Amino acid sequence: MGAPLDGITVVALEQAIAAPLCTRHLADLGARVIKIENPGVGDAARHYDGVVRGMSAHFTWLNHGKESAELDVRDDVDGAVFEALLGRADVLVSNLAPGALGRLGFAPDDLVERFPRLVVVDISGYGTGGPLDHKRAYDLLIQSEGGACAITGLPGQPVKPGVPVADIGTALYAYSAVLGALYDRERTGRGTVVRVAMLDVLAEMMGFALNTVVHGGELVPVGLGSPTVAPYGAYPTRDGATVVLGTTNDREWRRLTEDLLGRPDLATDPRFARNEDRVGLRDELDAIVREWCSRHDIDDVQRRADDAGIGNARLNDVHDLAAHPQLAERGRWREVGSPVGPLPALVPPAMGAGWPRRDGRVPALGEHTEAIREEVRQAPGGGARRP
């Protein structure tokens, strides 16, 4: 059984996170991904750090399974190679600066006219039109502009989430749009242009928060917890660990109070009858849960919570995640190749039963340039689109 995207060629004019993560997932599904990089410099993410045996942690995460070609698409010769690649490709994914594709002579709408079966994904910060469409956009900027930082952290102390959620969310929307566009092409025979704006993605991810304020409510950030549910948070245990637990509905509240805390009086207290009421009394409830947890070791808390049907977790750091037994025992790690030898990488989160696993390789800058040039030279019609 072949991979789902066997035979699909993706050309990527990409940098940083959003587009590279999208195309890496396409490579995981079997697509051939040709990453176009600036000669001598490459993707800026190559140079963020050297923690992976001299390579960047970001770049090795985002780019295994791809080919790297150093091409200056503004140059006549390299531009012709790039155009020939597009003529034979199925998908172009780009997250260059606003309007950069057009300035390079490859405006998305023009491309689908010239190559009717091509799917063009143009990722930008703010979309086309509006007062901000000219602005560069990075994850922190979009999270700030889009309100995500304001509901993270504590009142007066906004915090950026530790992972780049605007970049990752944009990557996943772009990835799913590619799959939808390829499916639609099977029916219509035509490609399309998909424009994905990071601000639009972040606004979608803020859905519950937007609904709250649009309809007259308020959201107050509560740190490691939820502004809309209580009790629900992190509580230190007797042995110096921290357990995260709580309730998401009234039934769980009764189980928490009766079966875990041994406080049936709380379950029948009318002040705490509904989640809305409990959110207003969050500090009082947190103090009760915190005091109970402080008298128990974390293993005991988790065992009792499991028995009571209360969701719970340990507050881990990244070292704990790297050694997590749930990942190790389920075979969630693999090895990918690289210029410095095999590297550990996670297996893709979503794989169909029977799909072959592609472990790929992190490419050196320009590793495949000459091979791709030769491929274009030898292609029938100088790289004309295949039927």
Do residues 310 and 232 both lie within one domain? yes
Q: What is the pTM of this model?
A: 0.92
Q: Which CATH number is 164's domain given? A: 3.40.50.10540
Assigned token pair, 276: 């809305």
Do residues 183 and 239 both lie within one domain? no
Sequence-separated (6 or more) residues with CB below 8 Å from residue 367? 67, 68, 339
Catalytic, 167? Answer yes
Assigned token pair, 87: 């003529």
Do residues 116 and 200 both lie within one domain? yes
By residue range, what is the domain housing residue 285? 226-314
Domain boundary residue, one of 288, 314, 340: 314
Q: Look at residue 121 and tell me whether its pLDDT is greater than 70.
A: yes
pLDDT value at residue 322: 97
Q: What is the pLDDT of residues 87-105, one digit of tens each?
A: 999 999 999 988 899 999 9
Catalytic annotation, pick one of 43, 78, 139, 167: 167
Q: Is residue 320 part of a domain?
A: no
Domain boundary residue, one of 269, 289, 314: 314
Residue 70: φ, ψ to 5°: -85, 110
Q: Is residue 2 part of a domain?
A: no
pLDDT value at residue 16: 96
Q: What is the pLDDT of residues 200-221, one digit of tens each?
A: 999 999 999 999 999 998 889 9
Do residues 296 and 346 both lie within one domain? no
Assigned token pair, 24: 């890496």
pLDDT value at residue 98: 87
Assigned token pair, 83: 């155009």
pLDDT value at residue 296: 98
What does the alpha-carbon distance between residue 200 and residue 211 come to, in Å, rounded to a whole number?
15
Domain boundary residue, one of 262, 287, 314: 314
pLDDT value at residue 1: 72
Q: Is residue 219 part of a domain?
A: no
Q: Is residue 221 part of a domain?
A: no
Do residues 194 and 140 both lie within one domain? yes
Q: Is residue 19 part of a domain?
A: yes
Do residues 113 and 182 both lie within one domain? yes
Q: Is residue 154 part of a domain?
A: yes
Q: What is the pLDDT of residues 293-303, one digit of tens each?
A: 999 999 999 99
Q: Look at residue 12 and tell me whether its pLDDT is greater than 70.
A: yes
Q: How confident is the model at residue 386 (pLDDT cuts 50, 70, 90)?
A: very low
Q: Look at residue 380 and tell me whether its pLDDT is greater than 90.
A: no
Sequence-separated (6 or more) residues with CB below 8 Å from residue 223? 153, 154, 233
pLDDT value at residue 385: 41
Do residues 192 and 48 both lie within one domain? yes
Q: Is residue 276 part of a domain?
A: yes
Do residues 152 and 257 both lie within one domain? no
pLDDT value at residue 387: 30
Q: Is residue 360 part of a domain?
A: yes
Q: How confident is the model at residue 384 (pLDDT cuts 50, 70, 90)?
A: very low
Do residues 362 and 254 both lie within one domain? no
pLDDT value at residue 382: 54
Averaged pLDDT of the chain: 94
Poorest-confidence range of 134-143, 171-180, 378-387?
Answer: 378-387
Q: Look at residue 124 and tell me whether its pLDDT is greater than 50.
A: yes
Q: How confident is the model at residue 379 (pLDDT cuts 50, 70, 90)?
A: confident
Do residues 88 and 147 both lie within one domain? yes
Q: What is the pLDDT of residues 243-258, one digit of tens each?
A: 999 999 999 999 999 9
The total domain count for the chain is: 2
Q: What is the pLDDT of residues 337-375, one digit of tens each?
A: 999 999 999 999 999 999 999 899 999 999 999 999 999
Sequence-separated (6 or more) residues with CB below 8 Å from residue 290? 235, 236
Q: Which CATH number is 279's domain given? A: 3.30.1540.10
Do residues 191 and 331 both lie within one domain? yes
pLDDT value at residue 381: 62
Do residues 174 and 98 both lie within one domain? yes
